[in-house]
Amino acid sequence: MNEQVAIITGASRGIGKEVAFQFAKAGLKLSILGSSDEIYQTKAELEKEGYQDVLAFTADVTDENDIDHVVEATKNAYKKVDILINNAGLGAFKPVGDVTVEEWKKTFEVNVQGVFLASKAVLPIMKKQKSGTIVTVASDVSRYTIPEGGSLYTSTKYAVQGFMGSLAQEVRKDGIRVGTINPGMVDTYFANGTQGDPEKKDWLKVEDIADAILYMAKAPKHMVIDEMHLHPLIQDYPRM
Ligand code: NJP
């Protein structure tokens, strides 16, 4: 992994921030982005740990110009892009009747359009290199539905899974590996939560997800890990 270059979306906190730390520890050069200034806190913490190859951007994954700028700046600084981790995402859980059109559009824009835009932006570079890995943090609810207020979030993650599956088939011939990671409940700030909340003590940890993403990214070049499903033992969920 040494000297490989990774772009990580949504690295201000939660899963994306831990992925940034594990990737830095593995010797990767990083471009991290988030829509808030909190992203600079992640950069500062990485630098404090001695990781200096970190570019940080306030960039909104729903904005094509923002994303193109991040990819362009990464390419200019590091001369290549080996890995894209599409991690930025939002969760809103309420009955269908309470979901506004604005919430519907916003969640689709971040969770689906964001994955499309970042993937689209790195593809020309990866195609030219004839190599690259794109991993998207989808969700366990991209493979089954949940009853309690899950319609909006679930439909975005089903869309992501469809996009990634087709993309994988489209770019396989270009030497580009595409996979998704589908976690169950993870202790983060997701859906206005608080990371470290005692009620979530038995949920998956950000380290569990970051470990799995690192494993997917560093798989031997001849191997693609299509999907990984991870759940906390305490979670009850339908088996596929
Ligand atoms: O959530 P959280 P997670 N443009 O809230 C960023 C999926 N997942 O780590 O924009 C760019 O702690 C935001 O940064 P900022 C989930 O769907 C989770 O759990 O600066 N970035 C922050 O860094 C999502 O895809 C669970 O505020 C944007 C990050 O996204 C992924 O895991 C279960 C952005 C969110 O951090 C990471 O979420 C599951 C934008 N427009 C799937 N909007 C779970 N936690 O239980 C947000 O199945 N961000």
Residue-level pLDDT at 146: 87
Residue 21 has pLDDT above 90, yes or no: yes
> In which residue are the tokens 């089903």 written?
158
> In which residue are the tokens 């859906």 written?
191
At residue 239 the predicted structure's pLDDT band, cuts being 50, 70 and 90, is confident
For the Cβ of 39 lying below 6 angstroms from any atom of ligand 1, the answer is: yes
CA 70-153-38 angle, 5° bins: 40
How far is the C-alpha of 171 from the C-alpha of 191, rounded, in Å?
A: 33
How far is the C-alpha of 6 from the C-alpha of 30, rounded, in Å?
A: 5
For the Cβ of 188 lying below 6 angstroms from any atom of ligand 1, the answer is: yes
For residue 113, give the DSSP letter. Answer: I
How far is the C-alpha of 177 from the C-alpha of 185, rounded, in Å?
A: 26
Residue-level pLDDT at 131: 98
Residue 57 has pLDDT above 80, yes or no: yes
pLDDT in tens, 118-162: 999 999 999 999 999 999 999 999 999 988 899 999 999 999 999
For the Cβ of 38 lying below 6 angstroms from any atom of ligand 1, the answer is: yes
Residue-level pLDDT at 176: 98
Closest approach atom of ligand 1 to CA 13: 23
In the predicted model, what is the mean pLDDT of the chain?
97
Burial class (CB in 10 A: 0-12, 13-18, 19+), 234: exposed
Which residues are the active-site residues?
A: 153
Closest approach atom of ligand 1 to CA 88: 30
pLDDT in tens, 177-221: 999 999 999 999 999 999 999 999 999 999 999 999 999 999 999
Closest approach atom of ligand 1 to CA 193: 5
How far is the C-alpha of 201 from the C-alpha of 228, rounded, in Å?
A: 22
How far is the C-alpha of 96 from the C-alpha of 227, rounded, in Å?
A: 29
Compute the distance from residue 10 Cα to the ligand 1 centre, in Å.
6
For the Cβ of 86 lying below 6 angstroms from any atom of ligand 1, the answer is: no
Compute the distance from residue 20 Cα to the ligand 1 centre, in Å.
14
Residue-level pLDDT at 12: 98
Residue-level pLDDT at 2: 81
Residue 240 has pLDDT above 80, yes or no: no
pLDDT in tens, 43-54: 999 999 999 999
Strand partners, 84: 7, 134
Residue 9 has pLDDT above 80, yes or no: yes
Residue-level pLDDT at 148: 82
Compute the distance from residue 238 Cα to the ligand 1 centre, in Å.
24
The two three-digit tokens of residue 126, written as one number:
């990866």
All residues at 6 or more sequence positions from 137 whose CB lies less than 8 Å from its CB, including other chains: 15, 85, 86, 87, 89, 180, 181, 183, 209, 213
For the Cβ of 14 lying below 6 angstroms from any atom of ligand 1, the answer is: yes
At what angle are helices 14-25 and 206-217 packed, to 10 degrees?
50
Domain ranges of the chain: 5-230
Compute the distance from residue 173 Cα to the ligand 1 centre, in Å.
31
For the Cβ of 210 lying below 6 angstroms from any atom of ligand 1, the answer is: no
Burial 177-191 (b: 16+ CB within 10 A, else e): bbbbbbbbbbbbebe
Share of the chain above pLDDT 90, in %: 96
Tell me: domain 5-230, CATH 3.40.50.720, correct? yes
The answer to pTM > 0.85 is yes
Strand partners, 34: 58
Share of the chain above pLDDT 70, in %: 100
